[in-house]
Structure 1
């Protein structure tokens, strides 16, 4: 999945799913500037870390990245678990993913700890 979107005349963004790296990557004008990382477990895509290059903060790019990643999760028929604070904050502001969202549990935290070592 690659999606292009213009947020402003100056920023041309792309979001690409990179399954072999367990993440969605954000590009601006062809340069990588961020990602959101996940692990899949039992029909759930568990997002545990998101980064945006400091030079691009304040442009709403994390929302572009997270939105496209969550849309992809919906298309894939998976559920969402937000361990990552940025993804969790996005979900609190956008209830259109409420039907796909599962809570963070101790078992999920243990799975993330074990799978990202």
Structure 2
């Protein structure tokens, strides 16, 4: 499955698409150069396809490339960071 992930800064979110279909979103709140990643959601019909992990890791890649950092408010983002230590340098705090 080919998933594209793009940022929609005017809506404070990253969007995952499979073709023309929006299949997932990662919402954030902007705090200067830090994004508080607040919610990951995937189309219920597409759950279990790895879309959420793809969405988060590609968003993290884009965040890194832009020189920004993250606060993992969303529990799923925290889960991805724990399973992918190559992104640990991006986190500046947590929700707790």
User: How would you bin the TM-score normalised by the shorter chain?
Assistant: over 0.9
Compare relative contact order (CA 8 Å, sep 6+) and give the higher one, 1 or 2. Answer: 2
Structure 2 unaligned regions, length at least 5? none
| Deviation digits for residues 33-57 of structure 1 (CA, Å, limit 9, x no counterpart) | 1100001113211100110011000
Q: Find the counterpart in structure 2 of residue 5 from structure 1.
A: none
CA distance in 1, matches of 2:87, 2:62: 12
2:46 maps to 1:45 = no
RMSD: 1.3
TM-score by length of 2: 0.93
| Residues 17-56 of structure 1 mapped to structure 2, 5 A cutoff | 17-56=7-46
Higher-Rg structure is 1
Q: Would the aligned equivalents of 2:72 and 2:95 in 1 still touch at CA under 8 Å? A: no
Q: How many pairs align?
A: 96
Which of structure 1's runs of 4+ aligned residues deviate more than 6 A?
none
Which residue of 84, 87, 91 corresponds with 1:97? 87
CA distance in 1, matches of 2:14, 2:32: 19
TM-score by length of 1: 0.77
Q: Would the aligned equivalents of 2:36 and 2:72 in 1 still touch at CA under 8 Å? A: yes
Tell me the SS of whatever aligns to 1:59.
coil
2:71 maps to 1:84 = no
